[in-house]
């Protein structure tokens, strides 16, 4: 990258309103070359809106953007690209049938030979970047065969591949596990050393504190804090985000009653990813499932939920044999799923908040029990209840689901199961993209529901989260269990250690049953 002279982007008086509600309110901010700039704030604070304005996706109502003192009009993403701005947006936008390289090159200038696209030369340029971000599959794999976390690595590679002066990353690590995050951080440090500006958006505060030189906090569209990271404490940052003191969610020593076994899985196999998994889960227990990306965690819970084919093994649920062949079998028995990828698997994206919240439990909306007609009044009152319970920020029950910010969409994916009265809730990365305040609320909710006897099986790559939340954590590697940690022994170091360990299956099973 030739441009050694870094550039400064100045944002002056930027304002953007959606349907009268201000997503950004008179924001002034300088983003300096070679600095990592942390952008944080509660769900719906306006972070993604700011980034989308820089990317030319939205046009501001007021205000201007200056690059090295010259005003620029970013009318569309093409302009942003030619100005040397590069983006990792909060939502992946990949073409499922295209391969990794084609997805990276979407909209970029490609290598040509005799006027034809030269994919080989292009691949040769891209492969080093893919290796750098830790993507290990063939670059010719179709994106639909690549896991969500790996798709994020591809999105990162796409942003790095171009000659850029500024990279804005909107929650790039929400789906990544510790080791990929480490790798991304070393890339970011390298970028800033080369004089490239980085905007980094995340709800994982430890990451932000670690990697960012300065921090800007947004609250309801207003810039409320701008300071060098070194001058701030974590508590100060949290207070600025939430606008109040949030009690740190400490690990409680849960001496919960060892109740009956709710779920008992024995020697479960699927076609290729799960190789003999056995465990049990008690009523009211919160069980964590840790491991690296690709270790088979998502495949395991999808198999339990009936969304993947089982090959062998028995499952006992709630005292009876359970053979899930379709997710509806699981839902009928009282199992709920919060999937990993909210836009593809969790939400009906062209519908409203109200529609999405009520989808799994439509029969609750009946006015007359024996007739399948639904009551619109009941449906909005249920939605209103969920909005209050999860503090969902929205313009109303009927606002389109895509107009909600990413974190608020995540709350909808959890909230839609409340009316089903599930016995077991399976969650895959439940707090991805959720802000500190709401995260504490979700933790509290999980805790109080588990006291009522609801069990949880939680896949999480956030190693800060598992120790706080879980009674017990099982670690997976290569489709098998490598170890188990009981409440007090759950720690970031132990989880990481076990993520690379050899399988010790039987031992875990016996432990779990005691």
Partner 1 sequence: MNKSISKNESRRRFFRFIGKFGTIVFLLIMITFFSIMKPRAFATVRNLLNVLNQSSLLIIIACGLTAVVIIGDFDMSVAITASFSGVLVTGLMVKQNLPIWFAIICTIAICALCGMINGLIVTKLRVSSVIATIGTGGIIFGLNYAYTSGSPIVTGIPKGFLNMTLIRLFGKIPINIIYMAVIVFILWIILNRTELGQRIQAVGGNSVATKLSGINVDSIKITSYIFSSVCGGITGILLSSVIGSGNSTAADSYLMNSFAAIFLGSATLKDGEFHILGTLIGVIIINIGFNGLAIFGMSNYVQYIFQGAILVCAVALSSISRIYANK
Ligand X SMILES: Nc1ncnc2c1ncn2[C@@H]1O[C@H](COP(=O)(O)OP(=O)(O)OP(=O)(O)O)[C@@H](O)[C@H]1O
Residue 45, contacted partner among partner 1, Mg ion, ligand X, none, CB below 5-8 A by kind: ligand X
- d(CA 110, CA 102) in angstroms, rounded, equals 10
The distance of Cα 47 from the centroid of its chain, to the nearest Å, equals: 15
* Residue of 38, 407, 422, 430 that binds ligand X (CB under 6 A): 407
Instruction: Tell me whether residue 288 or residue 406 sits nearer to Mg ion (CB atom).
Output: 406
Query: Phi then psi for 112, rounded to 5 degrees?
Result: -125, 150
Asked if 410 interacts with Mg ion (CB under 5 A), we say no
Asked if 461 interacts with Mg ion (CB under 5 A), we say no
Asked if 416 interacts with ligand X (CB under 6 A), we say no
Instruction: Tell me whether residue 119 or residue 355 sits nearer to partner 1 (CB atom).
Output: 355
Binding range to partner 1, per CB under 8 A, among 172-180, 240-248, 352-360, 466-474? 352-360
For residue 47, give Cα distances in angstroms to 153, 205, 484.
21, 15, 38
Are residues 473 and 487 in contact, defined by beta-carbon separation less than 8 angstroms? no
Are residues 140 and 105 in contact, defined by beta-carbon separation less than 8 angstroms? no
* Residue of 143, 347, 392, 424 that binds partner 1 (CB under 8 A): 347
Residue 110, contacted partner among ligand X, partner 1, Mg ion, none, CB below 5-8 A by kind: none
Asked if 202 interacts with ligand X (CB under 6 A), we say no
Asked if 408 interacts with ligand X (CB under 6 A), we say yes
Instruction: Tell me whether residue 152 or residue 279 sits nearer to ligand X (CB atom).
Output: 152
Half-sphere exposure of 462 (CA within 13 A, CB side): 25
Q: How far is the CB of 207 from ligand X (least distance, A)?
A: 14
Instruction: Tell me whether residue 155 or residue 361 sits nearer to ligand X (CB atom).
Output: 155
Kind of pairing, strands 261-270 and 197-201?
unpaired
* Residue of 18, 254, 269, 443 that binds ligand X (CB under 6 A): 18
* Residue of 3, 8, 17, 478 that binds partner 1 (CB under 8 A): 17
- Radius of gyration of the chain from its Cα atoms, rounded to whole angstroms: 23
Instruction: Tell me whether residue 44 or residue 139 sits nearer to ligand X (CB atom).
Output: 44
Instruction: Tell me whether residue 174 or residue 277 sits nearer to Mg ion (CB atom).
Output: 174
Contacts of residue 166, defined as CB under 8 A and 6 or more positions apart, other chains included, come to 7, 9, 31, 33, 84, 85, 86, 196, 197, 198, 199
Instruction: Tell me whether residue 192 or residue 410 sits nearer to ligand X (CB atom).
Output: 410
Torsion sign over Cα 433, 437, 439, 441: negative
Residue 46, contacted partner among ligand X, Mg ion, partner 1, none, CB below 5-8 A by kind: ligand X
Asked if 395 interacts with partner 1 (CB under 8 A), we say no
Asked if 48 interacts with Mg ion (CB under 5 A), we say yes
Residue 388 CB burial class (10 angstroms; 0-12, 13-18, ≥19): exposed
Are residues 485 and 472 in contact, defined by beta-carbon separation less than 8 angstroms? yes
DSSP conformation class of 311: E
Site residues for ligand X per CB under 6 A:
18-19, 23, 41, 43-49, 90, 393, 403-408, 433, 435
């Amino acid at each position: 990258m030739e441009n050694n002279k870094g550039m400064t982007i100045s944002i002056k008086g930027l304002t953007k309103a959606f349907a009268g509600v201000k997503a950004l309110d008179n924001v002034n901010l300088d983003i300096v070359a070679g600095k990592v700039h942390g952008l944080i704030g509660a769900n719906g604070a306006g972070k993604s809106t700011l980034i989308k304005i820089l990317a030319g996706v939205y046009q501001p109502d007021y205000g201007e953007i200056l690059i090295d003192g010259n005003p620029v009009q970013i009318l569309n993403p093409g302009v942003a690209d030619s100005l040397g701005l590069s983006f990792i947006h909060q939502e992946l936008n990949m073409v499922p049938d295209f391969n990794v390289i084609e997805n990276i090159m979407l909209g970029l200038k490609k290598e040509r030979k005799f006027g034809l696209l030269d994919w080989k030369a292009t691949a040769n340029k891209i492969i080093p970047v893919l290796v750098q971000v830790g993507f290990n599959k063939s670059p010719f794999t179709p994106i639909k065969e690549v896991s969500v976390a790996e798709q994020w690595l591809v999105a990162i590679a796409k942003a790095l591949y171009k000659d850029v002066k500024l990279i804005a990353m909107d929650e790039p690590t929400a789906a990544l596990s510790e080791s990929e995050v480490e790798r991304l951080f070393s890339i970011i440090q390298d970028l800033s050393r080369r004089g490239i500006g980085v905007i980094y958006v995340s709800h994982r505060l430890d990451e932000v504190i670690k990697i960012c030189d300065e921090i800007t906090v947004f609250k309801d569209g207003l810039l409320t804090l701008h300071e060098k990271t070194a001058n701030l404490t974590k508590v100060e940052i949290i207070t600025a985000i939430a606008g109040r003191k949030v009690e740190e969610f400490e690990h409680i020593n849960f001496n919960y009653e060892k109740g009956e076994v709710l779920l008992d899985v024995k020697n479960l196999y699927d076609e290729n990813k799960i190789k003999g998994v056995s465990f049990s889960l008690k009523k009211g227990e919160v069980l964590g499932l840790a491991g690296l990306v690709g270790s088979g965690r998502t495949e395991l819970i999808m198999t339990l939920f009936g969304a993947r084919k089982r090959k062998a093994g028995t499952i006992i649920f709630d005292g009876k044999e359970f053979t899930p062949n379709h997710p509806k079998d699981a839902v009928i028995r009282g199992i709920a799923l919060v999937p990993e990828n909210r836009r593809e698997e969790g939400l009906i994206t062209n519908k409203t908040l109200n529609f999405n919240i009520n989808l799994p439990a439509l029969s609750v909306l009946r006015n007359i029990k024996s007739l399948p007609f639904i009551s619109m009044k009941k449906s909005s009152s249920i939605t209103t209840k969920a909005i209050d319970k999860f503090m969902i920020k929205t313009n109303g029950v009927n606002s389109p689901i895509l107009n909600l910010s990413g974190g608020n969409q995540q709350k909808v994916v959890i909230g839609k199961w409340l009316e089903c009265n599930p016995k077991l809730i399976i969650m895959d990365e439940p707090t991805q993209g959720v802000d500190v305040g709401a995260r504490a609320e979700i933790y509290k909710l999980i805790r109080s529901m588990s006291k009522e006897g609801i069990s949880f099986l939680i896949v999480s790559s956030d190693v800060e989260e598992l120790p706080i939340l879980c009674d017990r954590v099982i670690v997976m590697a290569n489709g098998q269990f490598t170890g188990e940690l009981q409440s007090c022994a759950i720690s970031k170091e132990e989880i990481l250690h076990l993520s690379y360990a050899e399988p010790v299956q039987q031992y875990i099973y016996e432990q779990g049953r005691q």
